[in-house]
Structures are given as structure tokens and as C-alpha cells.
Structure 1
Amino acid sequence: MTRRFAWVVAVVVVVLVAVAPSASAHATVVSTSPSDGQVVAAAPSVVSVRFDEPVQMQFGALRVFSPSGARVDEGTPSHPPGHSDTVQVAVGSNLGRGTYTVAWHVISADSHPVSGAFTFSVGASSSTSVPQDTLNAAGSKAVGVLYGFARGTAYGGFALMVGATAFLLCCWPTGAASRRVRVVIGGGWAALVVATFAVLGLQGPYDGGFGLSRVFDSAVLHTTLGTRLGTALAVRLLLLGAAGIGLVLLLPRIAGASDRLRITAVAVGAALAVAIAATWATADHAGTGSQVALALPLDVVHVMAMAVWLGGLTVVVAVLLRPAGAEVPVLAAAIRRFSTIALCCIGTLVASGTYQAWRQVGTLGALTGTVYGRLLLFKLLGVGLLIGLGYLARVWIAHYLAGPAMKADAVAIRQLRRSTGIEVVFATGVLAITAMLVNAPPARTAYAAPVSTTVAFDAGGPKGKGSVQIFVSPAKAGTDLVHIETVSASGEAEVVAQLTATMSLPDRQLGPLPLNLDGAGTEHHYGNVAIPLPGKWIMAVTVRTDDIDETTVQVPITIR
């Protein structure tokens, strides 16, 4: 049974990590100098990009290419004094006329690579010949999969180490004599140590877009240690060293320890576990954005509740409920105590998870319209199933372990073990999704709300007044759905003789681009439109109400 559970858990983790999306922009560009698409009279001496949060330059670059594709930047990219949210680089003094391309690659505050490009022109715009692969080379898929797997394994190792130890101290002290329990705790500690080293080695190639050959590169590792996440990983390894020593000293003494010693061990162990959990919170989404002072401790609490619950469940199914696990009275006392602890953990997870979801998602559209939001929905589904299984376990406990006349026989115990084992499998899947969420851009950042606006028109003539209702989704560069509905002055849908529309991007001198819309002869005009670049576009809608009366309205549309 245990081996089958292990295989199912492994398959769940591998599948989820294999299909995990690559992390994309977590920091957003606020402005560039020169501005994107700007035509300047004289060549600038410095090119810069400003973001909405501090960024790191380790594994970063800010490169400038001439119209022919040659590098024209000079020196090393840097932060202006006092502005960690801005990167700049000097350019040569003899730039000729034409369009120059600027490519940037930095590390956002939540430890993920962010890249992009923009153009500016000196004197006049021109054609360019900079290959896309030169601007931003795609990272290694193998590195991304291994990186995600290592982060998921780290969560699992932390849960086994902390949760199993907490179960012994609070629910089953005599279980410390069991070799299986010591294997669970030691295996969790070892898995977390190995996974932390793996993340430390893979972080540099992940951030820099390198291949697996750079995992053991000492220069890359040295640079990684200078990043926010690298520092957190180094601190975690030091804490794990202390935790390992503590476990070696503690485990042989738990069974015969006094209440005072166990209370002291719980306090010291909890402090150490909280410190280890904080190495995740400080380097990921909780450490950036709004309300950091509240988000950080709640994220630590969330991780701790997950660890105590999942690690305790593992001990229950892998050791306590086995045929030779424990006598029924001991089993009953341990399970009743853990049932109360698990209920508190579930309440904590729901409360802290609800806050995290609101902070990272914000709107219903972002919940269904982003990778982060959809992963969160899967996680919520998994948590709901876990709550249902936990409720069934509490019903079992109330039926078989209530009162002095306990009715738990071998068959009943197998039922609980099977139910709890399924709970462990689902919990591990939720853990894998959590690792993917950490690696995905927050929905608030990634989501672009659809554009919906109404503009009045007056084409003259007896029935020339009305309005057009315009809907553009998702209002992001790429393929968008455009839907235009014509409405009469009285507010009712109305068919017009003809409706055409174009889009222009004045800042880049692009357009007008005609929109191919279906629905001629109806009040609804719609179509899928390829919008090549983000920016402040202008949609020009021309409405002809009869053979001679027509008008054009200009509608600003922001494409992200």
C-alpha cells in the first residue's frame, strides 16, 4: 500500500511539474528612456528602463543593437544611485540615424527572470535586422522542469520533517522508538537538503536562460548566492544543519521525555521551523507587492499549517495505522489529538489562503483569465476534496474511537488507513500545484482586463444618432476578440447601413490597420484581430446610417 501511494505521489508531482508554465513578467515596465518608439534628434548617452518594483541585475543585461544588429552599448548595466527599480547602460557617442533596439533581462523582486525589448530612433525610423533569438534567448526546458520539481520536493521534504516531528511531540511520543517514523523524518530532512542544493544550482541557469551544463559552474553559483533567493537558500541550509543536529539529539529522547522537555522541544522546533518557512516567504510573492508586512507572516503561517497537516497525515498512514503500528488505546489517543490539530490547520489554511488569493488575484476575471488563477482553482478544488476526506475521517473517529468502549478493529483501521492514504495523495498534488503557483506570475500582474466602452455618434439625418458599444478581450498584444454593437438613441440595438473600423498606434506611427469584422447587416460586428504591440491604440469606428450620412468616432484602447 505504501509503495503504491509513493508511486501515485511521484506520478502526480512529475505530471504537474512537466506541464507547468514558464514564469513570465513579474515586474512590469513603467517607462523607458528614450520612450518606446520615440524619434530623438540627437543620440542619447544613456539608455534606461524603469520597473514598478526593485529588480536585480545578477544574470541581467541591458543591450542596445544598431539597425544592422551590432551591439552599441558600452560598459556594464547598473542601477542609478538610489534607484533599484531602474537599470541603465551607456551607449556609444557616434550613433548614426535609424532605429535602435534595446533588449533587457533582469530578475524581479520575487526571484523570477523578466525580459523584453523596445525601440527608439535617432533622426528617423528605419528597418532593423536584430533576430528575436538574439534579443531574448529561450531558456532550457529541462532546467525549468527540474527547477520546478526541486521546488516541489523542497515543500514535501519540509512537510515530512516538520509535520512528522510535530506529530511525535504532540500526539504520539512513544512513536519515536519506531524506525519507520525516524525514516520519515530523516527522509524529509534529507529531501529538503538535497532539493535546496538543487534549487541553488538550478537558479542561475534558470535566471540566466542557460542550459544544464552551467549547473555546476562556480561563477554562476557565486552570482546566484548574491541574489535574494540565493541568500535565502544559503540561510535555509544553515538552519537545516541546526535542525539535523537537533533531530539527532531529540529523537532518541522523546519517548521518555518529561512534559517540560517536550514543551521546550516544541518551542525550539517551532521557532526553527518558522525560520525555515520564512526562507520561502521572503524570496517569493509574499515578499513583494502590497501589504508585505501582513503577507509575509501569513505566508509563513500557511506553509507551517501545510507542513503540520501533511506530515502528520503521512505518519498516520505510513506508520500508526499499520498492523504493527500501535495498540488501539494508544492509536485512539494519538488520532484524536491529531484530528483536533488537523482541524486547526485546515482553518488556518483556508483563512490565510483566502487572503493570499485576494492579494494575488484581486478580480474574478483574473481568476479565470490567467495561468495563476486557473492553477489556484485547481488548488481550491484539491483543498475542498481534502476537507471532505478530513470530515469523513472525523466521522470515523467519532464512531469508532468515542467513549471508553472503542470499536476499532483491524477492518475499521484499514478503512481509515485507506481514506487517509488517499488524503495524502491529494495533499501531495495540492503541494505540487503550490510549487507551480510560486513559479507563475501573480494574476494581478498578468491579467489584462477586457476593454468595454460606449461612445456616442451623430451621423446627421433623421436616424443618425446613436452609440457604439465596443468590447476588446483580453486587451493584450496578440490575438484579441473585438465586438462592436450599434445602439439607437433610444438604447435599443439597431442595424446600420455599414460599419468599419481601424486601429492605429500613434506613438509608434503604426496604422491605420483595418479590422476584418463579421456581422454586416446586423447590429453585431465581431472578429479576431491580431494586435502586434502593447500601447495606447486608437480605434476609429466609421458608422454609415444611410446612403449619404456617416461619421467616424475615435476610441482610445489601451493594449497591455
Structure 2
Amino acid sequence: MRLKKYKPYVIVLILALACWAGVIPEYASAHAYVVSSSPSSGEVLEKSPESIFIQFDEEIEPAFYSLQVLSPSGERLDKKDAAIDPSRPDRLVAGLTPGLVDGIYTIKWKVVSSDGHPVSGTLAFQIGNPGAGSVPIVTSDNQVPSPEWSLLLIRWLWYAGMTLTTGTLLFQLFLLPRSARINGIPFKTKRSKLLLNLGIVLAATGIIASLPQQTASNAGVSWTSALSADLISETLQYTGFGTIWKIQLALLALLAFASLLWMRIGNIRHPRETDIRLSVYAAWAAMAFSQGLMLSKAFIGHAAAAEGKALAVTADYLHLSAASLWLGGLLAIVFLLPEAAAKASSPEEVASGQRPLAYWQAVSRFSALASASVAVLLISGIYGTVIHIPSLSALFQTGYGLALLAKIAVFLFMLGLAFTGFLRGRRRSRPLGRGVWVELALGFIVLALAAVLANQPPPSTAAGLPDRLEATVQGHKITLEVTPRTIGKNHFVIKLQDPDGKPMEQVEQVTLSLTSLEMDMGLIEVVMPGGSSELEADGIITMGGDWNVQVHILLKSLESLDHDFTLHVDSN
């Protein structure tokens, strides 16, 4: 079959499908959190265990994990043999030094979630002497609260590079009318080559630099230490990020090759028909590879951690693609169109001093494209907000929500400027003015805010996960679970075991008294009638932050057990 039988968009579709198939590794999609452990949090053991394990809700990356057991003095007492259980890829195990003496011990753990985010935490257990007091659970998923500047810069370079690349290719293939093309080949100037080369360089810088940056984040080391061949190799071989990074590097090489081929053919003074066709195909191939790069990015972002992964990844890709088409097209209109239109001007248009027809044709095409891009941005943006922002209050009380609000505000301002440009292009009254440059500047601010959002843990990461607190009081084990651990209505569950590990049935009543540790919010009481070892009730938490939860257990013998927990409530 000969190449000329196929239209350019058919080639793009085939390449896009190939890119899609190539960037779908099968790995889980959520920030890992602990679902069980042995010893459990706050558990009191009669004798020293031989080993410990921590089980997570998902498979964890087989790299950059650690599991340590420390004595009160800080002495390490595990056998330094932490490993992922071969039969349970969601379980981290380690052996213990035999014969641990009575006392309280701390387990410190760190893993990398399947979506590439490192998480860590601690929990405590006790050996012997259960009457000495309670052992509080101390557990956390330590996402970085604000991303490092280097990570933001790398993300921004990648976004900016893809915007420049996409905008230049879009201008040549779609925005520029055929009347402005030279010898039938999409118009090329020093400016267009400069933008395309700069875009590829910026994207390449972002991709290449992301490897040591991600390695440093996973390993918890500095950039200098992350350049170790062993750590880099571990990232590439054993993490989902490493798989995507290798795919991105291959797509980048293909993009650079197709772009170089397109530019080389453009230098031919008297091109043949086959040269013209090959030039168009090269440009469309470069566009397809750039789209493949943006698709790959969705597999190492928040979309990969959402429920309904396929739809979330698709929406994230469409959002990024629409943004790059709009902003990249705008950049081309500002930077490339004046020169191209001037070269395409007829003698009559030059004599009259009016903008040539090719100028208004390009502006009209961009207006149509921008309208479609805005529609995609709105739909995909609303969908992303729904899956990542579980409640309206999360927009105003979380770092992720505030960054999203800032992005929305800048986007709406851009939309207003774009509408005025749309009216000018439709009426052909006067050329696009300074507002286009303002719109372009705001677009790159949006890219910076997008970099912030890409590296902030969304509120939905913690929403819906039960906050399980455990303690042992006078030999009795008390477990408190709170769901969803956010502002508003919550479900409280108390589970009780006697010193023999059997369910406690002789419970008359359990009262939970909640007081905010942040400010005076009054007293919230949740009363649970007895009759079972597992009691449930609903209550309303009125503010985010840390709360003291006093558990008062009244037994039928009129004896009582009391313990205070500290509960963290998300502001969403």
C-alpha cells in the first residue's frame, strides 16, 4: 500500500492509538495507606514477636521502601531485612531482633504509592506490663504539603515546552490558510523554527530533569545524592514513574526526529509533490507524538489515583491537550501570524495598508479552535474538580482548593480577553491588540498554577478513609474509627476487647466527648448505648483540624474505662 492513499489525519489517528496503547501500564491507582499491621497500632504483646508486617490498601512500588523498629532510646531493633512479601505485594515485612525487653516500641515505615507519591508514617506497640498505661497510635501519610521549587520548575518547563511545540505545529497545519503557504509546504520562518526548537528543548529539559527529581523525592535524598547510578536504576526498573519516563523519552526522540524532518524538507527551494506530501506527514506525525507525550503525563498524575482510572486519565489528557492548543495557538497568532500574513499580502493589500485576508482567516480559525478548547477545558475541569474536591468547603480550606480557585480566576480573566478577541476577529474591525499579550502572559501563569496542582495532594486523597485509632487501657483494647473524617456528618465506631482478646459484651454505654484543640468550639457528645462489643453512632464535626476525643466506657459492673485520642479532621 502506498502512503499517498492515506490522509494525514488517518496517520495521526494511528499514531495516537499506538501512543495510547504504549502508555497504559497496569498498576494500581491510589495513595497507599495502612489497612492493618502486626503488631497492630497500640497493641500490647506478652512476648517479643519474631517479625512484623504492615499491609497497605494497594500494591506498593518495589523500590525506596523502609521499615524500622526503634526502642525508646532510638536503638534500631529490626534485622534490617525489610522486604515486600513475595506472595503479598501490598505487604511490607521485616524480622525482629529476638528477646525484646518489656517496653514501648515505634515502627517507622516509608513506601512509594503506585502513583509515584512517597508516603510514610509511624505506629507504636508495647511488650509486657499492660497496666503501665496506654499505647497511643501514631500514624500518618506524609504527603509533601507544598512541592519543592525544583519540582514546580520542572513541571512548568514541561508544560511550557509542550505549549510552544503544539502551538507551532498547530499554526502550520491548521491555523495558517493555504494561501499563505510557500510552494505548497507549510510556511516556515526563523521564528517558527525557533519556537519549535525551543519547545522541544524545554520539554526535553523537563522530562530529563524529572528523573533525578523523582528519585530524590522517592529516596528522601538531595539532588546530588539522587544522581547515584544505583538510585536512578532503581527508579527506572521498579517504579511506575520509571516506566512512563522511558516511554516519554522514546516519544520525545520521535517528536524531535519528525520535527527535524519537517524543517529539513522546508528548506527545499523547488519541492516535488512527494516532498510536499512528506513534509505534511512529518508535521502531523510530530503533532501526534506531542499528543502522546501529553497523554503519558496523565498516567503519573492525580488522574491515575482516581476511581474510574480510564475516564479520569482521558479527561486529564483532554484538559492538558485543550489548554496547550488554546495557549499554543494564541502564542502562534501573536508571534508567528504577523510575519506570515505580511509575506502572503497581495500588492493591493500592501497598498491599502489593511491586514491581508490570510490574517483574518487565521484569526477566524483560531477563534473556532479556541471555542472548542474552552468547551473541553470546562467539561474536563468540572469533572476533575468533582473527583478531586469532595465538598465545596475544600475549595476554600485546602491548599489544593485555593490553588484551583486561583487557576479558575485567571482562566476566567483569560476567557474575557479571548471573547473580545473573538469579536474583533469576527468583525474584522481592527487587529488584535495588547490584550492578546496579556492573555498570553496569563496563560503561562495558568501553567505555573497547573504545576502547583499537579504536585499538591488533592483533598480526595484522604477523604473517605477511616481514621483508625487504637489504645490499650488496663489491658482492654479500644479501637475508634471515624468516617469520613471530614467536616460534617461522620460515623463513629467503637470496638472493644478484653485483656484475653475476646469481645467485650458487658458494656452499658460509651460516650465520646469531642473538643477542638484549635479553638473553642464547645463540646460535641456522641452517645452509644451498650449491649455489644462494637458500637456505632453518627455525629457532626464542625471544624477541621485536631480534636481531642475523650472515650468514656461505662461497664455494667459500674466500672469505667477512659482514654483520650487525638483525631485529625480534614477541612473538606
Please confirm whether the aligned pair reaches a TM-score higher than 0.5, indicating the same fold: yes
Query: For residues 491 and 365 of structure 2, what CA distance do their matches in structure 1 show?
Result: 60
Contact 2:80 2:94 in 1 (8 A): yes
User: Of residues 286, 291, 294 in structure 2, which corresponds to 1:274?
Assistant: 291
1:165-222 Cα distance to aligned partner (Å, 9 max, x none): 1221111263632111111111000111111111112211122221232142222211
User: Of residues 143, 149, 166 in structure 2, which corresponds to 1:145?
Assistant: 149
Residues 1:144 and 1:319: Cα distance change in structure 2 (over 3 Å): same
Query: For residues 156 and 381 of structure 1, what CA distance do their matches in structure 2 show?
Result: 20
1:18-60 Cα distance to aligned partner (Å, 9 max, x none): xxxxxxx943322222111111112222222222333224222
Name the structure 2 match of 1:67: 72
Name the structure 1 match of 2:163: 159
Contact 2:551 2:564 in 1 (8 A): yes
Contact 1:99 1:127 in 2 (8 A): no
Residues 1:127 and 1:268: Cα distance change in structure 2 (over 3 Å): farther
Name the structure 2 match of 1:192: 203
* AA matched with 1:104: W
Contact 1:367 1:443 in 2 (8 A): no
SS at match of 1:87: strand
Name the structure 2 match of 1:362: 390
* AA matched with 2:438: I
Q: May I ask how many residue pairs the two structures share in their alignment?
A: 452
Kindly report which structure 2 residues correspond to 1:438-453, keeping only aligned pairs within 5 A, or say none: 438-446=454-462, 448-450=485-487
Query: For residues 376 and 282 of structure 1, what CA distance do their matches in structure 2 show?
Result: 20
Name the structure 2 match of 1:403: none
RMSD of aligned alpha carbons: 3.9
Contact 1:163 1:308 in 2 (8 A): yes
Query: For residues 39 and 435 of structure 2, what CA distance do their matches in structure 1 show?
Result: 62
SS at match of 1:421: helix
Residues 1:382 and 1:27: Cα distance change in structure 2 (over 3 Å): farther
* 1:300 shift after superposition: 1.6
SS at match of 1:27: coil
Query: For residues 559 and 139 of structure 1, what CA distance do their matches in structure 2 show?
Result: 17
Query: For residues 342 and 336 of structure 2, what CA distance do their matches in structure 1 show?
Result: 6
Name the structure 2 match of 1:435: 451
Identical counterparts, % of pairs: 26
Residues 1:81 and 1:480: Cα distance change in structure 2 (over 3 Å): farther
Query: For residues 154 and 452 of structure 2, what CA distance do their matches in structure 1 show?
Result: 11
Name the structure 2 match of 1:8: none
Name the structure 1 match of 2:479: none
Name the structure 2 match of 1:343: 371
Contact 2:165 2:328 in 1 (8 A): yes
Residues 1:221 and 1:260: Cα distance change in structure 2 (over 3 Å): same
SS at match of 2:521: strand
User: Of residues 75, 81, 84 in structure 2, which corresponds to 1:76?
Assistant: 81
User: Of residues 37, 41, 44 in structure 2, which corresponds to 1:36?
Assistant: 41
User: Of residues 364, 376, 389 in structure 1, which corresponds to 2:417?
Assistant: 389
Residues 1:479 and 1:77: Cα distance change in structure 2 (over 3 Å): farther
Query: For residues 138 and 392 of structure 1, what CA distance do their matches in structure 2 show?
Result: 42
Contact 1:480 1:529 in 2 (8 A): no
Residues 1:89 and 1:528: Cα distance change in structure 2 (over 3 Å): closer
Residues 1:559 and 1:31: Cα distance change in structure 2 (over 3 Å): farther
Query: For residues 174 and 144 of structure 2, what CA distance do their matches in structure 1 show?
Result: 46
* 1:70 shift after superposition: 0.9
Contact 2:515 2:521 in 1 (8 A): yes
Contact 1:453 1:471 in 2 (8 A): no
* AA matched with 2:103: G
* AA matched with 1:76: D
Residues 1:127 and 1:58: Cα distance change in structure 2 (over 3 Å): farther
User: Of residues 507, 510, 523 in structure 2, which corresponds to 1:484?
Assistant: 523
Kindly report which structure 2 residues correspond to 1:270-349, keeping only aligned pairs within 5 A, or say none: 270-321=287-338, 327=345, 328-349=356-377
1:470-527 Cα distance to aligned partner (Å, 9 max, x none): 8867xxxx74663338xxxxxxxxxxxxxxx999xxxxxxxxxxxxxxxxxxxxxx99
* 1:399 shift after superposition: 2.1
SS at match of 2:336: helix
Kindly report which structure 2 residues correspond to 1:164-179, keeping only aligned pairs within 5 A, or say none: 164-172=168-176, 174=181, 176-179=187-190
User: Of residues 229, 240, 249 in structure 1, which corresponds to 2:241?
Assistant: 229
Query: For residues 289 and 344 of structure 1, what CA distance do their matches in structure 2 show?
Result: 26
Contact 2:143 2:457 in 1 (8 A): no
* AA matched with 2:325: V
Residues 1:421 and 1:529: Cα distance change in structure 2 (over 3 Å): closer
* AA matched with 2:388: Q
* 1:434 shift after superposition: 1.0
Residues 1:209 and 1:553: Cα distance change in structure 2 (over 3 Å): closer
Query: For residues 209 and 276 of structure 1, what CA distance do their matches in structure 2 show?
Result: 27
* AA matched with 2:449: I
* AA matched with 1:69: G
Contact 1:452 1:472 in 2 (8 A): no
Query: For residues 449 and 551 of structure 2, what CA distance do their matches in structure 1 show?
Result: 40
Query: For residues 394 and 318 of structure 1, what CA distance do their matches in structure 2 show?
Result: 18
Q: Mark the runs of 5 or more structure 2 residues left unpaired by the alignment.
A: 1-29, 346-355, 464-484, 493-510, 528-541, 554-560
* AA matched with 2:310: A
Contact 1:99 1:124 in 2 (8 A): no
Query: For residues 490 and 188 of structure 2, what CA distance do their matches in structure 1 show?
Result: 69
1:348-404 Cα distance to aligned partner (Å, 9 max, x none): 11111111111111211222222111211111112211211111110111222xxxx
Residues 1:39 and 1:540: Cα distance change in structure 2 (over 3 Å): closer
* AA matched with 1:207: N
Kindly report which structure 2 residues correspond to 1:353-432, keeping only aligned pairs within 5 A, or say none: 353-400=381-428, 407=429, 412-413=430-431, 416-432=432-448
Residues 1:136 and 1:559: Cα distance change in structure 2 (over 3 Å): closer
Contact 1:502 1:539 in 2 (8 A): no
Kindly report which structure 2 residues correspond to 1:87-98, keeping only aligned pairs within 5 A, or say none: 87-98=92-103
Query: For residues 449 and 528 of structure 1, what CA distance do their matches in structure 2 show?
Result: 7
Name the structure 1 match of 2:223: 212
* 1:120 shift after superposition: 0.6
Query: For residues 257 and 228 of structure 1, what CA distance do their matches in structure 2 show?
Result: 46
* 1:289 shift after superposition: 3.1
Name the structure 2 match of 1:124: 129
User: Of residues 262, 267, 279 in structure 2, which corresponds to 1:250?
Assistant: 262
TM-score, length of structure 2 as denominator length: 0.70
* AA matched with 1:450: I
* AA matched with 1:384: L
